[in-house]
Amino acid sequence: MNAIRETMERRRAGCGFLGGDVETLPALAGRDRAVRVGAGEAGPHPDLHAGPRTDPLAGHCAEGTYRIDTPFGALRATLASGRLYALVFGDGRSASSPEATARPTLVATLAAQVREWASGRRATFDLPFAERGTAFQRAVWAAVREVPPGSVTSYAALARTLGRPRSARAVGAALAANPWLLVVPCHRVVAVGGALTGYAGGLARKRALLAFEREKFPAADR
């Protein structure tokens, strides 16, 4: 059984295009417990971009960090005060624990919704998110949740949606601070012209996620 780890990790979520690697988008027709929601691997699992780890859960009652395995590698879900505080891709190491069945209800709900998404039966996630970010960041995160799986949008288009057409770079910075990968789908945002830009899970994973969603959600409005 893995030892209980009470430290909370915070990773820079690098979904924005500021200072990140760029790749041309190909044509698109705490408690460390394992919860498996899918089998197999879909592409390589690059390491996360390094980020600060000095962010205490100020104002939140920490409840632990749980591992959820997906077809695209491990997700690490941090809970605080009964809400989802962070969700990032881990390093892909395998892990298991006989205590997985003792996970909180929120982790079970998250795992079930990820499973439904992976099978093409869920387009959006219904989860209690912790209160994080500035008002502008929260507006950007809410807007990107409206982008359906199988589709992509651009930073400039999101800026226009928010009524701030000259704020594409600010939108990118807000997405770079996204604490909830996959469920707040910043991987669906690309540069004008279709270039893939920095993503905390790595560009290979971002490309794989987009291809996977296009296959699983063929009826998406593009």
pLDDT at 58: 54
- Give domain limits for the chain: 30-118, 135-216
pLDDT at 4: 32
With pLDDT > 70 as the criterion, what percentage of the chain qualifies? 65
- Identify the band that residue 201 occupies on the pLDDT scale cut at 50, 70 and 90: confident
- Identify the band that residue 102 occupies on the pLDDT scale cut at 50, 70 and 90: low
Mean pLDDT of the residues in the chain: 75
With pLDDT > 90 as the criterion, what percentage of the chain qualifies? 57
Say whether pLDDT at 32 is over 50.
no
pLDDT at 37: 43
User: What one-character DSSP code corresponds to residue 31?
Assistant: -
Phi first, then psi, for residue 62 (nearest 5°) are -65, 135
- Identify the band that residue 59 occupies on the pLDDT scale cut at 50, 70 and 90: low
Choosing among 2.40.10.120, 3.40.50.720, 1.10.10.10, 3.40.50.300, the CATH entry for 135-216 is 1.10.10.10
> Between 16 and 168, where is the model more confident?
168
- Identify the band that residue 94 occupies on the pLDDT scale cut at 50, 70 and 90: very low
> Between 126 and 32, where is the model more confident?
126
Rounded mean pLDDT, 86-97 = 64
Global confidence as pTM: 0.72
pLDDT at 194: 87
Annotated catalytic residue 186: yes
Catalytic residue among 35, 87, 181, 186: 186
